[in-house]
Amino acid sequence: MPGILFLAHRVPFPPDRGDRIRSHHLLKALARLAPVHVGCFGEGDAEAERALTALAASCRVAARTKPLPLAGVEAVLAGKPVSLTAFHSSKLARWVRETIAQQDIAAIVVFSGQMGQYVPDDFAGPVVIDLCDVDSAKFEAYAAAGQRKWLNAREARLLAREEVRLGRRADATILISEAEAALYRSRLTAPDKVDVRVLGNGIGAAFVDPALVTPHPALAGMAGPHFVFTGQMDYRPNEQAALWVIEALLPRLRARHPSASFHVVGRNPTRALMAEDGAHGVRVWGEVPDVRPFIAAADAVLAPLLIARGVQNKVLEAMAMARPVVLTPEASTGIAGANGEHWLISPPDPEVMASHISDLLANPAAAARIGGAARDFVLREHGWDAMLAPLGPMLGERAESCRHAA
């Protein structure tokens, strides 16, 4: 039976962070269509690699051991973005060529733009590339904010060039939301020659069922209110958002609610975040086995991101757990929720956001109503089966067009 080659920049197990949740469900959807051969990068998680081996027809996990300074030097010498050189492996490239030569590969599906470099120019079958979001725009935002301005501007420019190249190479290019798709099309020199599709992020309804989750005992045993932020905490936008809450928002909340606490939950908290642990109602938990008990214990989940691309899984998860979410407009992109019905949107102004949150706390019935409506919305609009249903027809269309072209 013809197979699919799936390329991802991380092992798609366990599904415990934004990109890995999406790649995990994408892989499972592909495995229902055909045998899948997986090439990806790993960080030595033996359990994750065993899970991948059990699902894939074959796989190659390349160790991601290249130091970032070396990737930077390679990028400068080659005139490429660091995002590509950091994920370049000659061993993985050889495995891709051998797998295409030895297996009956009918299609290639690429998850994340870094992996498009492995698609051979002479592969004749359909190629589908899931960019998720316009990554170059993130680096543009970093540069505009004055963060390592020259380096980020260079990365943005070269990565944008690669994103255009990938769109021309692919038979279909997937973005995570209509907003990201529109941004991507606006950067193409010939948008009519690139087939851009939208596949949104989903949520596993059974996994995030609040009826099956007990609030974390440490939070349940403390006076509240409790506010929770989840995410990969060495990711700069997450770190910035959490520090903004600690420095600007939380003092205003504690002036109104003296026992208010803010809980930062997620792996790899930075030194700046760890320095705040234990001070003035702040608790930095780091990596935890399960974020759901923290979300279940939250009076509100906060997502005050200043820079955000695509769809925020942290927002979908909190909504599916029927918790009221207070977020910035940036964090709401790609989710068609209604302000005041499914969540509360606030500008990144600490006084304004503190007022919104205080109003929410003063009206528990309204908070419960928003949380319930949020869960109903997510289950209806963002189930993974519904999100990925177009994938099979998409690959079928491409294969059929290739047969006609031949």
- The domain spans of the chain are 3-202+384-405, 210-381
In the predicted structure, residue 103 carries a pLDDT above the cut 90: yes
Q: For the ranges 115-129, 164-178, 330-344, 389-403, which has the lowest average pLDDT?
A: 389-403
Fold of the 210-381 domain: Rossmann fold (3.40.50)
pTM: 0.77
Would residue 74 be called left, alpha or beta, if left means φ above 0 and alpha means ψ between -120 and 50 degrees? alpha
Q: For the ranges 4-13, 61-70, 395-404, which has the lowest average pLDDT?
A: 395-404
In the predicted structure, residue 373 carries a pLDDT above the cut 90: yes
Fold of the 3-202+384-405 domain: Rossmann fold (3.40.50)
Residue 373, CA distances (Å) to 321, 330, 369, 380 in order: 11, 21, 6, 11
Residue identified by tokens 């099979």 is 392
Give yes or no on whether 3-202+384-405 and 210-381 have one common fold. yes
Alpha-carbon dihedral sign for residues 29, 31, 37, 38: positive
pLDDT at 108: 97
Q: How confident is the model at residue 122 (pLDDT cuts 50, 70, 90)?
A: very high
**Strand, coil or helix: what is 133?**
coil
In the predicted structure, residue 386 carries a pLDDT above the cut 90: no
H or E element, residue 100: helix 90-102
Q: What is the pLDDT of residues 194-219, one digit of tens each?
A: 999 999 888 877 788 999 999 999 99
Distance from C-alpha of 97 to C-alpha of 60, rounded to nearest angstrom: 12
Q: Mean pLDDT across the chain, nearest whole number?
A: 93
